[in-house]
């Protein structure tokens, strides 16, 4: 990634006051979402501990790894959003190209993770629908004759 030239940025590619104001007003919402996601991590941990404590049988190591991966993804998204907001805030205060570059790098990570999660969700939904359809068809063999 080629860094922005500070001089060129300040002379030709600076953000006007309206743009800076829009960013300033967006930063608190990004922080709100990041904090909410951090709290979700805490609730997730508490929920998993509660479920494990109440389970009459031993919990599978696969389930623990699965929950750990989910927690890690939620935390990574939260942390990335927090850093994104921090760099945007620094940019609005100091108007340095470097802060904007760092903010865009964090935003890129956020959208990459979101895209991967969306692809995984769609694949899981398709597999679930196909499995459900196959199970339904096996319960009603007379429908296979149509």
All structural domains of the chain with their residue ranges: 6-107
Residue 85, both tokens: 């907001």
User: pLDDT grade, residue 123 (50/70/90)?
Assistant: very high
Closest CA to 73 of 26, 106, 40: 40
What's the chain's average pLDDT? 85
Predicted TM-score of the model (pTM): 0.69
Q: What mean pLDDT is predicted for residues 77-92?
A: 92
- Residues 115 and 123: their CA atoms lie apart, in Å, by 12
- pLDDT attached to residue 31: 94
Q: What mean pLDDT is predicted for residues 28-55?
A: 89
First to last CA, the chain: 58
User: pLDDT grade, residue 3 (50/70/90)?
Assistant: low
- Residues 97 and 3: their CA atoms lie apart, in Å, by 8
């Amino acid at each position: 990634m080629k860094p922005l030239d500070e001089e060129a940025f300040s002379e030709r590619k600076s953000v006007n006051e309206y743009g800076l104001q829009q960013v300033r007003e967006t930063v608190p919402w990004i922080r709100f979402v990041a904090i909410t996601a951090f709290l979700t991590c805490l609730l997730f941990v508490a929920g998993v501990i509660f479920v494990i404590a109440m389970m009459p049988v031993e919990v599978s190591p696969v389930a623990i790894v699965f929950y750990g991966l989910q927690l890690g993804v939620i935390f990574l998204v939260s942390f990335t959003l927090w850093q994104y907001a921090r760099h945007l805030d620094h940019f609005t205060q100091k108007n340095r190209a470097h802060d904007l570059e760092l903010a865009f790098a964090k935003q890129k990570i956020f959208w990459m993770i979101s895209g991967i999660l969306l692809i995984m969700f769609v694949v899981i939904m398709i597999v679930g629908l196909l499995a459900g359809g196959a199970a339904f068809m096996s319960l009603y063999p007379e429908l296979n004759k149509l």
